[in-house]
C-alpha cells in the first residue's frame, strides 16, 4: 500500500496536466452517487439503466465505475475499454482517453473503473491538484454524472457520497440490505447532517411492497436519526434485468416496455422533477480531492 501510494505520488508529479490553479471548466452538472450498504442489491443495474434512460431523453450523462475491485459497468454496456481510471492515475493516458462512448446509447459515456483509485486518499495535495485538473474537464459539460460506488461504509464510499451533491441509496426488501442501508445513512448523516440522500427500493415484488420497505426504513430513520428519508421510487424484481445482462444491453434499451424499464423511467422523472443542488461536478472533484488533505 505504501509503495503504491509513493508510486502514485511520483507519477502524479510527472503528469503533464497543468496545475488546478487555472481550471478551464464550469462547475458541471448533477453528481449522483449510487450506493448501498450491502452488495448485490442493484447499484450497477441502476447506474446503467438510469444513465441510459436519461441519455435517451437527450441528456449528456457520464457513468463512473467507482466500485473498485468489482468494476463491471463496461460489461453491462458491452464495452471493452482499453483504458481506465487506473491508467489515468498512473499517468499513462490523458483524462480524455479514459472516456468511453457507450455505443448502444448515444449521449452516454463511461469512465471505466480500476482498483488503483483506492490510493486516491494517499495522494499528497500536489498530486490531488493535478488529478483534479485532469478529471474535472471530462465531466464539466455533462448534465448528469452517475457514480457506481462500492457497497458498505468504507472510507472511499463515504467520501464519494459526501463529495457528490446527491446520494441514491439502493436497497432491496431483505432485512440485511435494509439494516445495512440504515447503517450507511447513519454514517453519512453523522459526517454531514445536510447530506441529500434518497432511497431507491430495488427488486421489490411489486410497488406496494416497495412502498412498505420505504415506509419501514423512513420510520426507523425518523425515530433514531431524525429527519425523513425521501423515496425516489421502486423498481420491481423483473426477469428482464438478468436477461439484459446476458445481452449486455441496458434493459431500458433491450426491453423498454418491461416493468423494470417503466420503473426506471419513473425514477428519471422524479429525478428531473427535483432541482439540482448547488455544487456541480467541478465542486464534486474539488470536495473529493480535498478529503483528508
Ligand atoms: N430489479 C431486478 N430484478 C431482477 N434482478 C435484478 C434486479 N436488479 C438487479 N438484479 C440482479 O441482481 C444482481 C446484482 O445486481 P447489480 O446491479 O450487479 O448489484 P450491485 O451493483 O449492487 O452489486 C445482478 O445479477 C442483477 O441482474
Ligand atoms: Mg455493482
Which tens digit of pLDDT belongs to each residue from 25-47?
346 789 999 999 999 999 999 99
Taking the CA of 35 as reference, the closest ligand is: 1
φ/ψ (deg, to 5) at 170: -95, 135
Per residue, what are the HEC states of 208-238?
A: HHHHHHHHHHHHHHHHHCCCCCEEEEEEECC
Query: Closest Cα to atom 13, ligand 1: which residue?
Result: 40
Say what the pLDDT of residue 137 is: 83
- From ligand 2's centre to the CA of 249, what distance in Å? 15
Write down the H helix ranges in the chain.
2-14, 43-56, 73-76, 85-89, 95-98, 125-139, 155-163, 175-191, 207-224, 239-247, 251-254, 259-273, 280-290
Say what the pLDDT of residue 239 is: 98
- From ligand 2's centre to the CA of 44, what distance in Å? 4
Intervals of the chain under pLDDT 70: 1-27, 115-133, 276-279, 291-293
Record the cell numbers describing residue 43, joined without a space. 447499484
- From ligand 2's centre to the CA of 34, what distance in Å? 10
DSSP label at residue 19: P
Say what the pLDDT of residue 11 is: 45
How much is the pTM?
Answer: 0.87
pLDDT in tens, 158-169: 888 998 889 999
Choose the residue to mutate in 34, 43, 67, 241 for probing ligand 1, maximizing ligand atoms within 8 Å of C-beta.
241
Q: Helix (H, G, I), strand (E, B), or coil: what is residue 28?
A: coil
Say what the pLDDT of residue 123 is: 60
Say what the pLDDT of residue 278 is: 60
Question: Using a 6 Å cutoff on CB, does residue 241 contact ligand 1?
Answer: yes
Integer Cα distance of 270 and 267 in angstroms: 5
Asked if CATH classification 1.10.390.10 holds for the domain at 2-290, the reply, yes or no, is no
Say what the pLDDT of residue 35 is: 97
Query: Closest Cα to atom 26, ligand 1: which residue?
Result: 242
Amino acid at each position: 500500500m505504501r509503495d503504491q501510494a509513493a508510486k502514485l505520488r511520483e507519477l502524479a508529479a510527472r503528469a503533464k496536466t497543468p496545475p488546478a490553479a487555472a481550471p478551464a471548466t464550469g462547475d458541471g452538472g448533477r453528481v449522483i452517487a449510487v450506493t448501498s450498504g450491502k452488495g448485490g442489491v442493484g447499484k450497477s443495474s441502476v447506474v446503467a439503466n438510469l444513465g441510459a434512460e436519461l441519455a435517451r431523453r437527450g441528456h449528456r450523462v457520464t457513468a463512473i465505475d467507482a466500485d473498485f475491485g468489482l468494476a463491471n459497468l463496461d460489461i453491462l454496456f458491452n464495452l471493452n475499454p482499453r483504458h481506465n481510471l487506473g491508467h489515468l492515475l498512473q499517468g499513462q493516458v490523458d483524462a480524455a482517453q479514459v472516456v468511453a462512448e457507450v455505443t448502444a446509447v448515444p449521449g452516454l459515456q463511461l469512465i471505466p473503473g480500476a482498483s488503483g483509485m483506492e490510493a486516491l486518499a494517499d495522494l499528497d495535495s500536489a498530486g490531488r491538484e493535478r488529478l483534479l485538473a485532469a478529471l474535472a474537464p471530462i465531466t464539466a459539460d455533462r448534465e448528469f454524472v452517475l457514480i457506481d460506488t462500492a457497497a458498505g461504509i468504507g472510507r472511499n464510499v463515504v467520501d464519494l457520497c459526501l463529495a457528490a451533491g446527491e446520494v441514491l441509496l439502493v436497497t432491496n426488501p431483505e432485512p440485511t440490505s435494509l439494516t445495512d442501508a440504515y447503517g450507511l445513512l447513519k454514517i453519512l448523516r453523522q459526517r454531514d447532517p445536510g447530506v441529500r440522500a434518497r432511497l431507491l427500493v430495488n427488486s421489490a415484488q411489486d410497488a406496494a411492497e416497495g412502498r412498505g420497505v420505504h415506509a419501514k426504513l423512513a420510520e426507523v430513520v425518523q425515530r433514531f436519526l431524525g429527519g425523513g428519508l425521501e423515496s425516489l421510487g421502486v423498481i420491481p424484481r423483473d426477469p428482464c434485468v438478468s436477461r439484459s445482462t446476458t445481452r449486455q444491453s441496458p434493459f431500458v434499451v433491450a426491453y423498454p416496455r418491461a416493468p423494470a424499464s417503466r420503473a426506471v423511467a419513473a425514477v428519471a422523472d422524479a429525478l428531473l422533477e427535483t432541482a439540482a443542488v448547488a455544487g456541480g461536478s467541478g465542486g464534486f472533484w474539488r470536495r473529493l480531492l480535498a478529503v483528508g488533505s
